[in-house]
Structures are given as structure tokens and as C-alpha cells.
Amino acid sequence: MNFKFFNTPIKGLKLIERKIIGDDRGFIERIFCEDNLKEIIFDKNIVQINHSLTKKKAAVRGMHYQIYPYAEKKIISCLKGKIWDVAVDLRKNSSTFLQYYGVILSEDNFKSFLIPEGFAHGFQTLSEKCELIYLHTERYKPDYEKGLNPLDPLIGIKWPLKISQLSERDKNQKILDEKFLGI
């Protein structure tokens, strides 16, 4: 098997460990295999792959998600550098509603993070020049994209480092209140 799957404290959110085959020349790893990943993405297909670069340490990107009918599953992997990847449960009626879980992804630990539909996603860079690859089960639809403020006190994400950069868009996301019932 090319992957090992680990549950997190939040139902549906999984950590994936990728198998590495290496020698003194280097290594090869499989990032995606439809047959092996079918058990965690079920009836969905990967339809879009994105690659991002964040140059500065302690920068935060997120917390983003898409709503129905374009809600998506994502598999996030860090190919260069080191990040703290975070998912927030926004599923109404979930026993872990508005709880978050974070995990370190790096070029050295060969792990990926499966984020199901109904979760917001973001990350903080723990090193300079972090490159990520995102596998998506839906195409990007700007009219269906939403976001949370990464500093929202209702969620209370404890970012590992003092934030060095945050986009105006992310900084200006609304703070949640008791009227937010989930997605």
C-alpha cells in the first residue's frame, strides 16, 4: 500500500502518510493513486490540482471553503518547507462544530491532510518558501467560495507563530456570531 490513513479527533478529517522508496540517489513517492485513495474520497474524483508558494515565514493563508453544490474534499501536501495546516469543522449538527485540528506538514515528513466537505482550511508557514500541492474534488468557483477570519475569537485558533503576513481579504473576513449555524 502506498498510503497509511490515520483518523484525527474530528470525524472525517484524516492524516495520510505517504510511502517513500529511496536510496542514496534520492526517493520516489506517490502523491495520488485513485485506487489507493478511493476509500477516503469515495465517489468523488480529483478534478483540479493547485500548487502554491508562500515566501515568508509565519504567513497565514486561509481559512477558505466552498459551499454546496461545489463543496470539496482537499488533499494537502507540503513539497517544500514546513507548515502548520488547519481545518475547522463547519458542519451543522456535527459534534465537533467550530472545533479545529492542526497538523505539521513538511518536505521531510511525507504526510498529507485530507480535508472533507464542510471544513474551512488554512495554514501558517513555519519556514521560508513553502510550496504546497492541493488535490481538489471540485473546480474553483469564486461565487461559492467563503472564508473565516483566521483570528476569529469564537474559533480561537492558536497559531504557532506571531503572524507575519495576512491578506487583506482574509483579514477582513467577518467574525462569526451565534447566528452562524454551519454549512
- The residues that are catalytic are 64, 134
Q: How far is it, in rounded angstroms, from Cα 183 to Cα 71?
A: 10
Neighbour order of strands in the sheet with 14-18: 3-7, 14-18, 111-115, 74-80, 130-136, 48-54
CA-based end-to-end distance of the chain: 34
SS3 state at 1: coil
- For the record, the C-alpha cell of 183 comes out as 454549512
Beta-ladder partners of 22: 27
